Amino acid sequence: MVCSDSNPTTNSMDEKQKSLSEGQLIELINDLKGYVAYQESLGAEFFPRSTTKIPPHPTLTEVRRDLGECTRCKLHLTRRHIVFGEGSEKAQLVFIGEGPGEDEDRQGRPFVGKAGQLLTRIINAIGLRREEVYITNIIKCRPPHNRNPQQEEIATCEPFLNKQLEVIQPKIICALGTFAAQTLLKTDAKISRLRGRFFSGRGIKVMPTYHPAFLLRNPHKKKEAWEDMKKIQKEYIK
Ligand code: SF4
């Protein structure tokens, strides 16, 4: 039996059929393109848009709504107001303290007492206004008699801080005092060892420094705090 591929006449016909079918294909594609363009001009959709619903980026209002009149830890029993936080949702710089004090508990706003006034002056000294930054605390309710927050209370409240940071996505966090620094950096090192350097927490630069209430009691430490703030200012304007 002789192989048909060895027949030169058959090969030439195959080549002709092949080039003919390529030409037809190009013609067909061009026809199809023209048809699609025409139908689209009439409003037809050939590639329907995805019906998958992407959840909208949450806002601070939504995070606050989720928190509600929170009773997740025992601090709800003694608080007057939840102190959620305030400032710009688009802040590049977020200040995080330990927890509300008496004035904050009464007013429902963060850092409004004497320590808060000092924080406001510090913010102004680096060329910013309170409205341009965001200010909050690790826990949102005042511990009785301003005692230190307990680990269980911090762990219960922390998811809401995380959500706030997810919404704001700041460039820099200034951790005010031991509890804020230790919670954000997952360490038990003291603030005196942590302050003055940038760390990375949640992909954000974190600068621990002294809490303004500590500075009021220890004014000789203000110089060190000011050094820390100058580093923040430099990073902020980069
Ligand atoms: S401290 Fe946080 S978790 Fe505890 S009751 Fe207040 S808002 Fe809720």
H helices present in the chain, as ranges:
8-41, 60-67, 102-107, 114-125, 151-168, 178-185, 191-194, 212-217, 222-236
Cβ–ligand 1 contact at 72 (below 6 Å): yes
Cβ–ligand 1 contact at 73 (below 6 Å): yes
- As a whole number of angstroms, the distance between CA 76 and CA 69 comes to 9
**Which residues, other chains included, contact 101 with Cβ-Cβ below 8 Å and sequence gap of 6+?**
113, 115, 142, 146, 213
Q: Across all residues in the chain, what is the average pLDDT? A: 88
Q: How confident is the model at residue 24 (pLDDT cuts 50, 70, 90)?
A: confident
pTM listed for this prediction: 0.78
Structure tokens at 105: 């508990």
- As a whole number of angstroms, the distance between CA 89 and CA 71 comes to 25
Mean pLDDT on 195-207 = 93
pLDDT number for residue 5: 45
Instruction: Give the residue with greater pLDDT, 202 vs 48.
Output: 202
- As a whole number of angstroms, the distance between CA 96 and CA 16 comes to 77
Q: Atom 3 (ligand 1): residue with closest C-alpha?
A: 157
| pLDDT beyond 70 at 182 | yes
Q: How confident is the model at residue 37 (pLDDT cuts 50, 70, 90)?
A: low
Instruction: Give the residue with greater pLDDT, 53 vs 221.
Output: 221
Three-state SS for 104? helix
Cβ–ligand 1 contact at 140 (below 6 Å): yes
Q: How confident is the model at residue 27 (pLDDT cuts 50, 70, 90)?
A: confident
94 and 165 in contact (C-beta within 8 Å)?
yes
pLDDT above 90 as % of the chain: 74
pLDDT number for residue 29: 72
Q: List 94's β-bridge partners, or say none.
A: 134, 173
pLDDT number for residue 202: 78
pLDDT number for residue 2: 38
pLDDT number for residue 30: 74
- As a whole number of angstroms, the distance between CA 205 and CA 235 comes to 9
Burial annotation 30-60 (CB, 10 A radius, 16+ → b, else e): eeeeeeeeeeeeeeeeeeeeeeeeeeeeeeb
- Other Cβ atoms within 10 Å of 130 Cβ, number: 18
CA 89 to centroid of chain Cα atoms: 10
Q: Are strands 199-201 and 204-209 parallel, antiparallel or unpaired?
A: antiparallel
To test ligand 1's pocket by mutation, which of 63, 66, 69, 70 has the most ligand atoms within 8 angstroms of CB? 70
Mean pLDDT on 155-181 = 97
Q: Atom 6 (ligand 1): residue with closest C-alpha?
A: 141
Q: Atom 8 (ligand 1): residue with closest C-alpha?
A: 70
pLDDT number for residue 107: 98
